[in-house]
Amino acid sequence: MTASQRELVYAGLDLVAEQVLQARLTPGSSGQRLELGAQHTGTDGKAYEVAAWRDVDDHSAVFYFQRGPGSCRS
């Protein structure tokens, strides 16, 4: 994993921890994963990088990021 990919993973997991995992702290749960995507053009015409959280219980979410000075921001 590159440093850029690792940064995107951490940014995505921060949002997952805040928005999804707080209510989903079930020991031994399976089927959850974070998928990274190449740049994606959103509906606003801007380019984004994507961190998609997939959950077996339909608590899935897709987070869109743009790179700023020294970090990703959602």
pLDDT of residue 25: 46
Domain boundaries, the chain: 3-73
pLDDT of residue 42: 62
Q: Judging by beta carbons within 10 Å of its beta carbon (0-12, 13-18, 19+), is residue 20 exposed, middle or buried?
A: middle
pTM of the predicted model over 0.85: no
pLDDT of residue 23: 55
Question: Mean of the per-residue pLDDT values for the chain?
Answer: 76
For the chain, the straight-line distance linking the first and the last C-alpha, in angstroms and rounded, comes to 21
